[in-house]
Structure formats: structure tokens, C-alpha cells
Amino acid sequence: MGLLFQLRYLLPAQLGLLLVFVFSGCSQPRSGPVERWIIGLVSYDTGAQSLDKYQNFKEYLGKQTHKIIELEPALNELQAVQQINNKTWSIVFAPPGLAAIAIAKNQYTPIFPLQGLNNLRSVIVVRDDSPSQAIADLANKVVALGQPGSAAGYYLPLYDLYGLTLQEIRFTPTPATILEWLSQGTVAAGALSEDEFRKYRYQFGTTKFRILRTSRPVPVGVVLVAPTVNLNEQEQIKATMSQATASIVEDAGYLPSAKVPDYTQFIKLVEKVRPLEAQVKKKPAVLEFNATNAAAVQPQ
């Protein structure tokens, strides 16, 4: 007997109850809240611009994974390290220094390399009229570094400055400020990436700069996934990012078909430098290890 035929013989009240039951059963809401993923990145002083170029990627990832996706730019590496240590960021577009910390100390998993230089290097820069001709000439002078977490601004220059006693180390949140301080004569030298030096070197009037030391190369940055994201969802993220359109990939700045770089040696370098962190804020800053561990970690 058909449903319509049966409905004809029901009382109005019974019919109303039946219809409420049928339609409420067909429209059950999904159980549980929608999961939220935060994408972290370092933007220095270009926060709004950084968010704009990741907007299409954010919308695409949210649609494909059925998650709420948020973008959170950090203004410098120090803020980013805090978010990584707290595992606040589910996905990170990480430059090399942050990547080393996240992989070695916080169990983040690299899934794609970022677009950029394959041989990223740090440079220690002085004014062209500086009397300093070698690293040793910076002894007892004021030197500017980037924030902890920066490969080019912090870890690599500390490695190259090992053995010196500096009058003071000053820290700046942005690479451009390094050159600004040099231009003003408030520091004797400063460290930033070779690429950033080329980008900003002509923005300070007639001041000319000179490279005093160029570091060894480090791996490119990587896209990382937090250990708080389960393995099935990690695979879903990888598949989704691999299948993104060329324009989305280009804007987000990763390489879906390239091999993830090996961070083993750079992580070792960071571990060698970290004992110096107890000295960097002291005046003077004595960049030496104690006698017990000096032989084990002294830069070659």
C-alpha cells in the first residue's frame, strides 16, 4: 500500500506528528563542531599583503578538507617560535630557522619545500667606510642580529662569530632595520640573508655597504604539518596541496613536485649554536662555550 494512500486515512493530528518526524529525521545536523586549522607564516612588516596572497589557498584548502582555515602572520621569528612551541599552528610556511626548531624540537613534519633560493646564505655586513676587514675586527664592537628562530639573522651569524667578545648584541625584528642601524652608525655590523641584503641595500640614501662574511648555505624553507594533525589528515593535506591549481601554488609559494630538503646538517648547526644563547644578551657578549663542551661543539 502506497504512502500517499495511507496518509489519507490518518487523523489531522496524527498526520502532523508523522510529517514532523519524517522531515526532522531528514534534516539531522552534523554531529560535533567543525575542526579549525591555523596556517602560520612570518610576514615581518607586511602582514596584510601576506594574508592577501594566501587567500585563495586558504579558501581552497578549507573547501577540500571541510575545515575552518585561519591565517595567522607573525611579525618576526620570535613570535613564530612561540606559536610553534605551543603547537598553535597546524600548518606552517616556515623559513629554515623555524623549520629546524619545529622539526627537531616540536615533531612537525615537512611535506613540501618552499619556493626560494636553493643556497640561502647569511651575510655579515658593514658600512663601506668601516675599518673592519675580517670577522676578528668586530671584537668589542656592537653587532646587530635578527630574532632567535632566524637562520640568516641569528643562527648562521652566531656560528661565524664564535670566539669573539662583542661589546653588545642588539636584536631587531626586521632585516631592513639592520641596514638602517648601520646607515645611522649605531652598530658596527649586522647580519641578514644575502637575498634581503640585495633587496634593501639601496634604500638608505648614499650609504654604501660591504659584505664582511658570507655563511655556508642552508636548505630552503618548508611547509610543515603539526603533530596535532592526525596521519590521515596529514595525507589529506598533502594530496589537496598537490592537486591545487598552478595559480594557487604560485601564490602560496610551495613546490608540490619537489623533494623535501634534508635538514639533518642544519639542525646540527643550530644545536651547536644554542649553548651560546646564554651569552647573547649579556654586556659584553662573550661568544664562547665553556671548557667542558667547547671541543665538542666548536665550529669548524
The tens digit of pLDDT for each residue in 141-186 reads 999 999 888 999 999 999 999 999 999 999 987 889 999 999 999 9
CA distance 156 to 61: 34
- Whether the Cβ atoms of residue 211 and residue 123 lie closer than 8 Å to each other: yes
Cross-sheet strand order for the sheet of 168-171: 168-171, 142-145, 189-193, 122-127, 209-214
Mean pLDDT, rounded, for 267-288: 92
SS3 107: coil
Nearest to 191, CA basis, from 282, 267, 126, 284: 126
Superfamily of domain 36-116+220-261: Periplasmic binding protein-like II (3.40.190.10)
- Who wins on pLDDT, 21 or 218? 218
CA distance 261 to 273: 21
pLDDT digits (tens, 9 = 90+) for 90-100: 999 999 999 99
Segment holding 171, helix H or strand E: strand 168-171
**Domain ranges within the chain, ordered by starting residue:** 36-116+220-261, 122-218+267-297
CA distance 71 to 74: 10
- Highest mean pLDDT among 47-51, 77-81, 119-123, 153-157 belongs to 153-157
Distance from chain centroid for Cα 26: 45
- The verdict on whether omega for the bond into residue 284 sits within 30 degrees of 0, i.e. cis, is yes
- Whether the Cβ atoms of residue 111 and residue 260 lie closer than 8 Å to each other: yes
- Whether the Cβ atoms of residue 113 and residue 221 lie closer than 8 Å to each other: yes
SS3 236: helix
Q: Please determine, looking at this structure, whether the domain spanning 122-218+267-297 carries the CATH number 3.40.190.10.
A: yes
Phi-psi region of 64 (alpha: psi -120 to 50; beta: other; left: phi over 0): alpha
Q: 286: which strand partners?
A: 165
For residue 192, give Cα distances in angstroms to 68, 123, 202, 249: 36, 6, 15, 27
- Whether the Cβ atoms of residue 274 and residue 159 lie closer than 8 Å to each other: no
Reported as a pLDDT band with limits 50, 70 and 90, residue 61 is: very high
What is the maximal distance between C-alpha atoms in the chain?
104
What pLDDT does residue 116 have?
82
Segment holding 113, helix H or strand E: strand 109-113
Output DSSP code: residue 147.
-
Reported as a pLDDT band with limits 50, 70 and 90, residue 53 is: confident
The cell for 177 is: 632595520
Output DSSP code: residue 167.
S
What pLDDT does residue 48 have?
56
Question: Which range has the worst mean pLDDT, 53-67, 80-94, 103-117, 278-292?
Answer: 278-292
Nearest to 178, CA basis, from 168, 166, 190: 190
CB-side neighbour CA atoms (13 Å) of 130: 28
Reported as a pLDDT band with limits 50, 70 and 90, residue 27 is: very low
The reply to whether domains 36-116+220-261 and 122-218+267-297 share a CATH topology is yes
